[in-house]
Structure formats: structure tokens, C-alpha cells
């Protein structure tokens, strides 16, 4: 059954149709939330909040929405993620290495080398620290673009800003990450 009919049936209260929409889209919503929040429990909360909000707003969904239902639910998920990070910021939680906020480097096929493994953990920790220094909106936009692969147009639609604003946030995020990581590299060079 096509998505348009699933939405029509879900609006009429068909739980099977809603479940089918959930099954189709929940992985991407969860992945985005997890990469942004770096905590499985928080990402699961955002996933639940996203689909509750979507269900309550389903009558307001316009099938001509750019990107369709996937972009619409993605926008709700992005907004829920921003809300969650704002709540987290109040308690001063930060991303942690153990939560896997930054994916591990690809395996080189050389087996497990303790020295290399330690180096990889250090690199991941530095990237996570640099990501934590970004504003919540910069971090969300960076993750949506570079981890999730959304276009600037899709991101703009998801978080209700202009494409120019998305590009500006990306530019500033990349600049801040570059500056932060360059500073760490210089510190390492002079420690030796």
C-alpha cells in the first residue's frame, strides 16, 4: 500500500496503517536523535515524542509537503531533538565517549592493536568535545548534513529556517570544529 493511503487510513484511526508508517520511518528518526543526543534512552524518548506529536498532528499533514511524510516526520524529530538537548543543557549533560556519539573509525583489517585502539578512542573523544562546543542548532544541522546525508533544502524544511541559514550554521559549525581540532593538534605537537 502506498504512503498516501496509509496516511489516509491512519487519519481514520487505523492502527495497522499507523504501525506501517512507524515501521517505515522510525529507524531514521531514532538514528538522527541518537547521533544528536548520544544517549540511547534520550533518543528513544525523542522517537516516542516524535511519533506522538506526529499522530496528534496527522490531520494537519499536507501531502504536498516537500519531501513527503519522511521529511515531515524528520522535521518533527529534529525539533524534538532540539527540545531534548535544551532540556539536557539545563542539567549540563554532555556527550560521552561510551555512548558512541562519534562513530568509530573504520576497521583497517589489521586486527585489534591496543595502541591504535587507544589512539582511536582519543580521536573520538576530541571530536565529541569539539561537537559539544557547537550550539545545539549548529550541532543538529551538522549531524543532519554530514551524518544523515540530508540536503540543505531538506534540513531547512525540517527545522523551518531558510537554506541560507542552514548554510551559515554549517559554515560556522565546520569552522568551529576545525578551529577546535586544530588547537588540540597544536597542543599535542608541543607536548611531545
Cα distances (Å, whole numbers) of residue 59 to 55, 63, 156: 8, 11, 22
84 and 122 share one domain: no
Residue 102 lies in a domain: no
pLDDT at position 186 is 66
131 and 172 share one domain: yes
117 and 48 share one domain: no
Residue 32 lies in a domain: yes
Output the domain CATH number for residue 146. 1.10.10.10
How many other C-beta atoms lie within 10 A of the C-beta of residue 177?
19
78 and 132 share one domain: no
Host domain of residue 77: 1-93
pLDDT at position 107 is 44
72 and 156 share one domain: no
Q: What is the DSSP letter of 12?
A: T
Cα distances (Å, whole numbers) of residue 101 to 14, 97, 104, 128, 176: 36, 7, 9, 7, 18
Q: Rg (Cα) of the chain, in Å, rounded? A: 19
130 and 85 share one domain: no
Residue 26 lies in a domain: yes
116 and 163 share one domain: yes
185 and 122 share one domain: yes
81 and 129 share one domain: no
How many other C-beta atoms lie within 10 A of the C-beta of residue 8?
14
**Domain closes at, from 62, 93, 124:** 93
pLDDT digits 0-9 by tens, 34-79? 888 888 999 999 999 999 999 999 998 888 777 789 888 988 998 8
- Ranges of residues in the chain whose predicted pLDDT is under 70: 89-119, 184-192
Residue 83 lies in a domain: yes
DSSP 55-74: HHHGGG--TTSTTHHHHHHH
120 and 68 share one domain: no
142 and 60 share one domain: no
169 and 89 share one domain: no
Using CA atoms, how far apart are residues 82 and 93, in angstroms rounded to an integer?
A: 14
Residue 105 lies in a domain: no
Output the domain CATH number for residue 22. 1.10.1740.10
Question: In sequence order, which residues have a C-beta less than 8 Å from that of residue 116 and are 6 or more positions away?
Answer: 108, 110
pLDDT at position 90 is 62
pLDDT at position 47 is 96
Number of folded domains in the chain? 2
**Domain closes at, from 93, 124, 142:** 93
pTM of the entire predicted model: 0.64
pLDDT at position 129 is 80
Provide the grid cell at 167.
548554510
Amino acid at each position: 500500500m502506498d504512503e498516501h493511503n496509509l496516511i489516509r487510513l491512519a487519519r481514520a484511526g487505523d492502527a495497522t496503517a499507523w504501525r506501517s508508517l512507524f515501521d517505515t520511518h522510525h529507524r531514521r528518526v531514532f538514528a538522527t536523535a541518537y547521533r544528536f543526543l548520544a544517549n540511547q534512552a534520550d533518543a528513544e524518548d525523542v522517537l516516542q515524542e516524535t511519533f506522538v506529536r506526529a499522530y496528534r498532528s496527522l490531520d494537519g499533514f499536507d501531502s504536498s509537503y516537500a519531501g513527503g511524510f519522511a521529511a515531515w516526520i524528520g522535521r518533527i524529530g529534529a525539533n524534538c531533538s532540539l527540545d531534548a538537548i535544551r532540556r539536557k543543557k539545563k542539567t549540563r549533560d554532555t556527550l560521552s565517549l561510551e555512548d558512541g556519539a562519534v562513530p568509530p573509525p573504520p576497521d583497517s583489517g589489521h586486527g585489534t592493536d591496543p595502541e591504535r585502539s587507544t589512539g582511536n578512542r582519543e580521536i573520538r573523544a576530541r571530536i565529541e568535545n569539539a561537537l559539544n562546543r557547537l550550539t545545539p542548532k549548529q550541532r543538529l544541522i551538522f549531524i543532519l548534513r554530514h551524518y544523515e546525508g540530508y540536503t540543505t533544502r531538506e534540513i531547512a524544511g525540517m527545522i523551518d529556517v531558510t537554506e541560507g541559514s542552514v548554510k551559515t550554521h554549517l559554515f560556522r559549525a565546520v569552522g568551529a570544529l576545525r578551529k577546535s581540532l586544530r588547537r588540540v593538534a597544536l597542543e599535542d605537537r608541543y607536548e611531545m
